[in-house]
Structure 1
Amino acid sequence: MDKLVMLSLLLLLVISDHHTRLMIQVHSYVPFCAYTYDYFSYCLEFLTGIYYKPGKKCCVHIGKLNIIANHKKENPRLLCNCVEMMTRGYTPPMLADKIQELPLLCNTHLSFPISSSMDCSTV
Protein backbone atom coordinates (compact mmCIF):
# COMPACT_ATOMS: atom_id res chain seq x y z
CA MET A 1 0.00 0.00 0.00
CA ASP A 2 1.61 3.28 -0.99
CA LYS A 3 1.87 6.33 1.25
CA LEU A 4 -0.81 8.30 -0.63
CA VAL A 5 -3.38 5.54 -0.12
CA MET A 6 -2.39 5.21 3.55
CA LEU A 7 -2.71 8.95 4.14
CA SER A 8 -6.06 9.01 2.33
CA LEU A 9 -7.36 6.21 4.55
CA LEU A 10 -6.15 7.99 7.66
CA LEU A 11 -7.79 11.23 6.54
CA LEU A 12 -11.10 9.40 6.10
CA LEU A 13 -10.92 8.47 9.78
CA VAL A 14 -10.81 12.16 10.66
CA ILE A 15 -14.25 12.70 9.14
CA SER A 16 -15.92 10.35 11.62
CA ASP A 17 -17.94 11.27 14.71
CA HIS A 18 -14.91 11.05 16.95
CA HIS A 19 -13.15 13.90 15.19
CA THR A 20 -10.92 15.19 17.99
CA ARG A 21 -9.79 11.79 19.26
CA LEU A 22 -9.04 10.55 15.78
CA MET A 23 -7.15 13.71 14.86
CA ILE A 24 -4.80 13.04 17.76
CA GLN A 25 -4.56 9.37 16.81
CA VAL A 26 -3.83 10.08 13.14
CA HIS A 27 -1.24 12.72 14.05
CA SER A 28 0.51 10.16 16.29
CA TYR A 29 0.44 7.36 13.74
CA VAL A 30 1.53 9.09 10.54
CA PRO A 31 5.33 8.97 11.08
CA PHE A 32 5.23 5.46 12.52
CA CYS A 33 2.90 4.12 9.88
CA ALA A 34 5.03 5.54 7.08
CA TYR A 35 8.06 3.64 8.43
CA THR A 36 5.97 0.57 9.16
CA TYR A 37 4.46 0.43 5.68
CA ASP A 38 7.87 0.92 4.09
CA TYR A 39 9.73 -1.56 6.29
CA PHE A 40 7.13 -4.20 7.20
CA SER A 41 5.98 -4.67 3.61
CA TYR A 42 9.24 -6.53 2.87
CA CYS A 43 8.10 -9.31 5.25
CA LEU A 44 4.52 -9.79 4.07
CA GLU A 45 5.33 -12.35 1.39
CA PHE A 46 7.01 -14.53 4.02
CA LEU A 47 4.36 -13.90 6.68
CA THR A 48 1.56 -14.87 4.30
CA GLY A 49 3.30 -18.07 3.20
CA ILE A 50 4.26 -17.00 -0.32
CA TYR A 51 8.00 -17.36 0.48
CA TYR A 52 9.40 -20.11 2.69
CA LYS A 53 11.89 -17.79 4.43
CA PRO A 54 12.13 -14.04 5.01
CA GLY A 55 14.36 -12.13 2.62
CA LYS A 56 17.40 -10.16 3.69
CA LYS A 57 15.51 -6.87 3.27
CA CYS A 58 12.75 -8.16 5.57
CA CYS A 59 15.25 -8.98 8.32
CA VAL A 60 17.13 -5.69 7.93
CA HIS A 61 13.87 -3.74 8.09
CA ILE A 62 12.60 -5.69 11.12
CA GLY A 63 15.84 -4.59 12.81
CA LYS A 64 15.03 -0.97 11.93
CA LEU A 65 11.50 -1.33 13.32
CA ASN A 66 12.96 -2.80 16.52
CA ILE A 67 15.15 0.30 16.91
CA ILE A 68 12.09 2.53 16.46
CA ALA A 69 10.09 0.39 18.93
CA ASN A 70 12.82 0.70 21.57
CA HIS A 71 13.22 4.46 21.16
CA LYS A 72 10.16 5.49 23.23
CA LYS A 73 7.85 3.69 25.63
CA GLU A 74 4.73 4.18 23.47
CA ASN A 75 6.37 3.14 20.17
CA PRO A 76 5.62 -0.62 20.40
CA ARG A 77 1.89 0.17 20.70
CA LEU A 78 2.04 2.68 17.84
CA LEU A 79 3.87 0.22 15.59
CA CYS A 80 1.42 -2.51 16.55
CA ASN A 81 -1.47 -0.26 15.53
CA CYS A 82 0.21 0.54 12.21
CA VAL A 83 0.77 -3.16 11.46
CA GLU A 84 -2.83 -3.86 12.45
CA MET A 85 -4.13 -1.14 10.11
CA MET A 86 -1.83 -2.33 7.34
CA THR A 87 -2.80 -6.00 7.54
CA ARG A 88 -6.50 -5.73 8.40
CA GLY A 89 -8.31 -7.48 5.60
CA TYR A 90 -5.02 -8.29 3.84
CA THR A 91 -5.31 -11.31 1.57
CA PRO A 92 -3.81 -13.76 2.09
CA PRO A 93 -3.74 -13.26 5.87
CA MET A 94 -0.57 -13.55 7.94
CA LEU A 95 0.09 -17.06 9.23
CA ALA A 96 0.67 -17.55 12.96
CA ASP A 97 3.49 -20.06 12.43
CA LYS A 98 5.33 -17.67 10.09
CA ILE A 99 4.99 -14.85 12.65
CA GLN A 100 6.54 -17.15 15.27
CA GLU A 101 9.40 -18.10 12.89
CA LEU A 102 10.25 -14.52 11.85
CA PRO A 103 12.46 -13.56 14.83
CA LEU A 104 14.33 -16.88 14.71
CA LEU A 105 14.91 -16.77 10.95
CA CYS A 106 15.99 -13.11 11.11
CA ASN A 107 18.20 -13.83 14.13
CA THR A 108 16.54 -11.09 16.16
CA HIS A 109 13.64 -10.45 18.51
CA LEU A 110 10.50 -8.41 18.00
CA SER A 111 10.23 -5.34 20.18
CA PHE A 112 6.66 -4.83 19.02
CA PRO A 113 3.87 -7.39 18.77
CA ILE A 114 2.46 -8.79 15.56
CA SER A 115 -0.10 -11.54 15.27
CA SER A 116 -2.73 -12.88 12.93
CA SER A 117 -5.41 -11.37 15.18
CA MET A 118 -3.94 -8.22 16.69
CA ASP A 119 -5.12 -6.49 19.84
CA CYS A 120 -2.83 -3.53 20.28
CA SER A 121 -4.84 -2.16 23.22
CA THR A 122 -3.01 -4.61 25.48
CA VAL A 123 0.47 -3.40 24.47
Structure 2
Amino acid sequence: LFHTLSFFYMLSSFTSSKISYHYHFINIRKNWTEAQRFCREMYTDLATVENAKEMNNLLKSIKDLSYDVYIGLYRSNDFKWHWTLSDSFYNGEIFKNSKHISNNESCAAMDNNWKWFNDNCDSQKQFVCFNGKICY
Protein backbone atom coordinates (compact mmCIF):
# COMPACT_ATOMS: atom_id res chain seq x y z
CA LEU A 1 0.00 0.00 0.00
CA PHE A 2 1.15 3.51 -0.70
CA HIS A 3 1.35 6.57 1.51
CA THR A 4 -0.86 9.62 1.14
CA LEU A 5 1.55 11.43 -1.16
CA SER A 6 1.39 8.62 -3.65
CA PHE A 7 -2.30 9.39 -4.23
CA PHE A 8 -1.34 12.59 -5.99
CA TYR A 9 0.86 10.66 -8.40
CA MET A 10 -1.81 8.03 -8.92
CA LEU A 11 -4.46 10.61 -9.69
CA SER A 12 -2.83 11.28 -13.04
CA SER A 13 -4.21 7.91 -14.17
CA PHE A 14 -7.82 9.14 -14.08
CA THR A 15 -9.86 10.27 -17.02
CA SER A 16 -10.51 14.01 -16.89
CA SER A 17 -13.97 15.04 -15.77
CA LYS A 18 -16.30 18.02 -16.02
CA ILE A 19 -18.12 17.19 -12.80
CA SER A 20 -17.67 19.10 -9.55
CA TYR A 21 -17.86 16.82 -6.50
CA HIS A 22 -19.03 17.66 -2.98
CA TYR A 23 -18.26 14.88 -0.50
CA HIS A 24 -20.30 13.78 2.50
CA PHE A 25 -18.99 11.48 5.24
CA ILE A 26 -21.76 9.12 6.37
CA ASN A 27 -21.40 7.92 9.95
CA ILE A 28 -23.54 4.82 9.45
CA ARG A 29 -22.16 1.32 8.92
CA LYS A 30 -23.34 -0.57 5.84
CA ASN A 31 -21.90 -3.13 3.44
CA TRP A 32 -20.66 -1.75 0.10
CA THR A 33 -23.87 -2.45 -1.84
CA GLU A 34 -26.06 -0.90 0.88
CA ALA A 35 -23.71 2.09 1.08
CA GLN A 36 -23.96 2.61 -2.67
CA ARG A 37 -27.76 2.35 -2.54
CA PHE A 38 -27.87 4.91 0.30
CA CYS A 39 -25.60 7.32 -1.61
CA ARG A 40 -27.64 6.98 -4.80
CA GLU A 41 -30.89 7.65 -2.92
CA MET A 42 -29.62 10.58 -0.83
CA TYR A 43 -26.80 12.07 -2.96
CA THR A 44 -25.33 10.97 -6.30
CA ASP A 45 -23.16 7.92 -5.55
CA LEU A 46 -20.26 6.63 -3.47
CA ALA A 47 -17.21 8.90 -3.57
CA THR A 48 -15.34 9.18 -6.86
CA VAL A 49 -11.93 10.85 -7.05
CA GLU A 50 -10.48 11.96 -10.37
CA ASN A 51 -7.80 14.52 -9.46
CA ALA A 52 -5.75 15.95 -6.60
CA LYS A 53 -8.26 18.71 -5.85
CA GLU A 54 -11.04 16.17 -5.41
CA MET A 55 -8.80 14.04 -3.19
CA ASN A 56 -8.19 17.07 -0.96
CA ASN A 57 -11.93 17.74 -0.79
CA LEU A 58 -12.59 14.11 0.07
CA LEU A 59 -10.03 14.21 2.88
CA LYS A 60 -11.57 17.43 4.26
CA SER A 61 -14.96 15.72 4.45
CA ILE A 62 -13.58 13.05 6.78
CA LYS A 63 -11.18 14.96 9.03
CA ASP A 64 -11.84 12.73 12.03
CA LEU A 65 -11.46 9.41 10.23
CA SER A 66 -11.02 6.69 12.84
CA TYR A 67 -12.30 3.75 10.84
CA ASP A 68 -12.11 2.43 7.30
CA VAL A 69 -14.62 3.92 4.85
CA TYR A 70 -15.96 2.70 1.54
CA ILE A 71 -15.33 4.70 -1.62
CA GLY A 72 -16.94 4.22 -5.03
CA LEU A 73 -14.32 1.98 -6.57
CA TYR A 74 -15.00 -1.68 -7.38
CA ARG A 75 -13.35 -4.49 -9.30
CA SER A 76 -15.21 -6.00 -12.24
CA ASN A 77 -14.94 -9.62 -13.37
CA ASP A 78 -12.18 -8.67 -15.84
CA PHE A 79 -9.96 -7.57 -12.90
CA LYS A 80 -10.25 -3.88 -13.77
CA TRP A 81 -11.13 -1.30 -11.13
CA HIS A 82 -13.97 1.06 -12.06
CA TRP A 83 -15.59 4.11 -10.53
CA THR A 84 -19.25 3.49 -9.77
CA LEU A 85 -20.89 6.27 -11.73
CA SER A 86 -18.69 6.78 -14.75
CA ASP A 87 -17.19 4.90 -17.63
CA SER A 88 -13.71 5.75 -16.39
CA PHE A 89 -11.61 3.06 -14.82
CA TYR A 90 -8.84 3.34 -12.29
CA ASN A 91 -5.49 2.26 -13.65
CA GLY A 92 -3.25 3.14 -10.70
CA GLU A 93 -0.53 0.96 -9.26
CA ILE A 94 -2.22 0.30 -5.93
CA PHE A 95 -4.36 -2.58 -7.23
CA LYS A 96 -2.21 -3.76 -10.16
CA ASN A 97 -1.15 -7.05 -8.53
CA SER A 98 -4.54 -7.89 -7.09
CA LYS A 99 -5.65 -10.64 -9.49
CA HIS A 100 -5.80 -13.14 -6.64
CA ILE A 101 -8.49 -11.22 -4.83
CA SER A 102 -11.51 -13.34 -4.01
CA ASN A 103 -14.79 -12.27 -5.60
CA ASN A 104 -15.95 -10.92 -2.27
CA GLU A 105 -12.91 -8.60 -1.93
CA SER A 106 -13.77 -6.51 -4.95
CA CYS A 107 -14.69 -3.29 -3.15
CA ALA A 108 -12.33 -0.45 -2.30
CA ALA A 109 -12.05 1.25 1.05
CA MET A 110 -9.80 3.89 2.57
CA ASP A 111 -8.16 3.52 5.98
CA ASN A 112 -7.41 6.16 8.62
CA ASN A 113 -4.01 6.80 6.99
CA TRP A 114 -5.81 7.58 3.69
CA LYS A 115 -4.51 4.41 2.05
CA TRP A 116 -6.80 2.62 -0.37
CA PHE A 117 -7.20 -1.15 -0.22
CA ASN A 118 -9.46 -3.88 -1.53
CA ASP A 119 -11.85 -5.31 1.01
CA ASN A 120 -14.68 -7.74 1.56
CA CYS A 121 -17.81 -6.12 0.12
CA ASP A 122 -19.93 -7.57 2.95
CA SER A 123 -17.97 -5.76 5.69
CA GLN A 124 -19.93 -3.11 7.56
CA LYS A 125 -18.18 0.27 7.19
CA GLN A 126 -18.85 3.96 7.23
CA PHE A 127 -18.65 5.51 3.77
CA VAL A 128 -18.32 8.69 1.75
CA CYS A 129 -20.94 9.87 -0.73
CA PHE A 130 -20.75 12.71 -3.22
CA ASN A 131 -23.05 15.10 -4.97
CA GLY A 132 -21.96 15.58 -8.55
CA LYS A 133 -22.68 18.70 -10.54
CA ILE A 134 -21.84 18.98 -14.23
CA CYS A 135 -19.81 22.11 -14.97
CA TYR A 136 -19.82 23.56 -18.49
Q: Same fold (TM over 0.5)?
A: no
TM-score scaled by structure 1?
0.32
TM-score scaled by structure 2?
0.30
- Larger helix share, 1 or 2: 1
- Larger strand share, 1 or 2: 2
